[in-house]
Amino acid sequence: MPTSIALDVLRRNFTECSVDRLIDEASGQKLVAVCCDAGAPFILKLVELPTASSTAGQLPSDEVGRRLAREIGLLDTCASEHLPRSGPLAPGIRTIDGADFFYYSEEYIPGRNVRLEIQEDGTLATADVALMGIHVADALSTLWGLRVVHRDVKPANIVHDVQHGRFVLIDPGYALALAEPSITRLGMVVGTAPYYSPEHLDITNRRRIDVRADLYCLGVVMYEALTGEHPYFRPAMTWEETCGHVLHTQPAPPPVTDETASQLGAVIMRLLQKAPHLRYRSPRLVAEALQPLLGA
């Protein structure tokens, strides 16, 4: 997390909007707050920068700065109701209590993320799991249209907006844009270990990864949402054990309770195939396979 900032400090430094509350679910190095502009909520994100970055008032050219620039570019470019849009506050750099922070805003998505839903409710309804798959597939299709792989599809990055009947894939901070130079340092693996695809771990062929890696991770999330259990990860596992399971363990199919659950389980198990060519070729095909399950 960035340098600890109290809510009242944020309010003093962002008087152009109403800062409501901090979000404890902030990931990585971001500090996240819910704000209001003319009564409409939006998300404010801050990332601490090296002091020298504020001299030119621009993002640094290091990995953090380039990732932020890519994320903001995606917020501005992607037109899908299943991806967040840019918020009303233009990006910039601001010095707060002697530290330099880059800030930007994005659309506020009401609702809980899927990780909280699983923790609090145990599982999601079969129809909701199918709907989540369709909506996240739409988000992935939009990203892949720009030759972008999200690389961090996980329950905490999918928000269930019950108010508007949709699921939204958030936080493309680790996105890989195949048409642009690599950002990740050689030998590093980005993302969240229990939600790696096998391709994530092949650092020698990083540029050959495609949307099927995101579809694998979607399969992991759907399995967990349907059953309440991760297909192979358990909290006591080490990073090495987790990666071993990602590469070699084929999980047991989800329990079959009825015909709809059986069909949903078949889609999930195809998404979880270790070899990319055994999965669906595109997000569109995933959505087509799931669509009939919504009315069942």
Tens digits of residue pLDDT in 45-104: 988 887 655 455 566 666 667 778 888 888 888 889 999 999 999 888 888 888 888 899
pLDDT score for 49: 82
Domain ranges of the chain: 7-107, 112-293
pTM: 0.88
Euclidean distance between CA atoms 165 and 142, whole angstroms:
19
Integer-rounded Cα radius of gyration of the chain = 19
pLDDT score for 244: 93
pLDDT score for 140: 97
| 7-107 matches 112-293 in fold | no
pLDDT digits (tens, 9 = 90+) for 121-130: 999 999 999 9
Residue with tokens 């709809």: 260
Euclidean distance between CA atoms 159 and 106, whole angstroms:
14
The 10 Å Cβ neighbour count of residue 201 is 14
Is residue 77 within 8 A of residue 146, CB to CB? The reply is yes
Report whether pLDDT(207) > 90: no
Question: Which of 291, 167, 142 minimizes the C-alpha distance to 221?
Answer: 167
Average pLDDT of the chain, as a whole number: 86
Structure tokens at 202: 């092949």
pLDDT score for 253: 93
Active-site pick, 100, 128, 138, 152: 152
- Model confidence at 157, in pLDDT bands (50, 70, 90)? very high
| Ranges 65-74, 180-189, 266-275, most confident | 266-275
pLDDT score for 170: 93
pLDDT score for 180: 58
pLDDT score for 78: 85
pLDDT score for 187: 46
Euclidean distance between CA atoms 292 and 296, whole angstroms:
7
Report whether pLDDT(171) > 60: yes
Euclidean distance between CA atoms 104 and 117, whole angstroms:
27
Among 3.30.750.24, 3.40.109.10, 3.50.50.60, 3.30.200.20, name the CATH number for the domain at 7-107.
Answer: 3.30.200.20
Euclidean distance between CA atoms 295 and 139, whole angstroms:
22
pLDDT score for 193: 87
Instruction: Answer yes or no: 152 catalytic.
Output: yes
Report whether pLDDT(296) > 70: no
The fourth-level CATH superfamily of domain 112-293 is: Transferase(Phosphotransferase) domain 1 (1.10.510.10)
